[in-house]
Amino acid sequence: MKSDTQLTITLKNAIGREELAAMRLFADADLDAIAGLLRACPVYTLRKDEVLIVPGIVNQRLFLVVRGRLRVHLESLETDPIQIIETGEAAGEISLIDEKPATAYVVADSAANVISIDNDTFWALVNLAPVIAHNMLIMVVERVRANNALISEGMRLREQYHRQTKVDDLTGLRNKKAFEELLRRQLMRSSMGERPMSLMLVDIDDLSQYNADFGAGASDNALVAVAQTLQDQVRPTDLVARIANGTFAVILPDTNSTNARIAAARLCAAVAEAVVVMADESILPSVTVSIGIADRTQADKAEELITAAEKALEQSKTTGPGSFSD
């Protein structure tokens, strides 16, 4: 912020009584009682985009917008403003009270005049017109609520982004990143509890040929059909993810290799019966899948378990479409 000598003009020559009466801070206050103190307060003339408050610096002034408007930026002046402060409103009220560094930039959104009230003068005004403290409290509460709403929205957006980065856009299943994290976590839990656990890699047979035979979009619809079928067939405690173009993974907690084979047979049969529906509601032939199975006893690390399941998947591919191997 610039020095007072660079920006100051006198209140008596610049600000009228009607403009003071329009200030929320002075609502219901006796303007005659506080006029003497206000005349001593400098008024800053700001050009558009001129910075008034900088984050990280302790602000000991309250700024009242007499004409024009201000805007508030978090983090950087390059980011979109989070708030517009109109004529009659205030800036800097929270940092004035808690005497801590400001947390945002306050910038002139247009040419503006602002009254600058320092800490001592503010409390002197409160002594002369106690209603000012009431008005200030309301303004601070509104500002805190607005800030909390912004924080909540920011957290919601971050969470949404976090979810989106772990979800496969086409099928709505977990993606490879989410699968790898959950596999490591589940393997650790199963190992610590000495509980069985199995992993299945499910690959659609001849997916590229399916798309070539039935046209553009056929493979996408086949992927969706398989994803829905797998999700319908597994238990609520199991996890299904799409980890490559035509490959899915299924994590089976508390499942030994024998029960995993039973589950694999069920999945192969269910996929072979699932119809593939196109956007125009036409029906295409079903696809088949090959499945590779590995269980916790074959690996100490998630990467090793995946490798074991990949080898089993290769073996099932040699057996023929719609088969499984461990």
Write down the mean pLDDT value for the chain. 85
Confidence of residue 176 (pLDDT cuts 50, 70, 90): very high
Mean of pLDDT values over 105-110: 92
- Mark which of 161, 189, 207 sits at the end of a domain: 161
The position carrying tokens 């998630």 is 302
Query: Is the domain of 131 the same as that of 194?
Result: no
Mean predicted confidence (pLDDT) in 222-234 = 94
How many CB atoms sit inside 10 A of residue 275's CB?
11
pLDDT value at residue 162: 53
Report d(CA 200, CA 246) in Å as an integer: 14
Q: Is the pLDDT of residue 13 over 50?
A: no
- pLDDT for 137 equals 85
Q: Does residue 238 share a domain with residue 109?
A: no
For 96, residues 6+ apart whose C-beta sits below 8 A from its C-beta are 59, 60, 61, 62, 119, 122
How high is the pLDDT of residue 195?
93
- Residues spanned by the domain of 91: 4-161
Report the amino acid identity of residue 106. V
- Residue 31 sits in a domain of what CATH number? 2.60.120.10
Residue 263 lies in a domain: yes
Give the pLDDT band (50/70/90) at residue 146.
low
Could you identify the residue written with the tokens 């089993």? Answer: 312
| Segment 28-72, tens digit of pLDDT | 888 888 888 888 888 888 999 999 888 888 778 889 998 899 998
Query: Is residue 233 over pLDDT 90?
Result: yes
Task: Tell me, yes or no, whether 15 and 96 share the same domain.
Answer: yes
Q: Is 312 found in the same domain as 285?
A: yes
| Tokens linked to 209 | 């040929």
Residue 156: predicted pLDDT: 59
* pLDDT 10s digits, 68-92: 999 988 878 888 888 888 998 988 8
The answer to whether residue 242 is domain-embedded is yes
- Going by pLDDT thresholds of 50, 70 and 90, the confidence category of residue 256 is very high
Asked if the model's pLDDT at residue 150 lies above 60, the reply is no
Is the pLDDT confidence value at 10 over 50? no
Asked whether the predicted pLDDT for residue 115 surpasses 80, the reply is yes
Of 161, 185, 215, the position where a domain reaches its end is 161
Does 214 reside within a domain? yes
**Domain total in the chain:** 2
- Does 233 lie in the same domain as 127? no
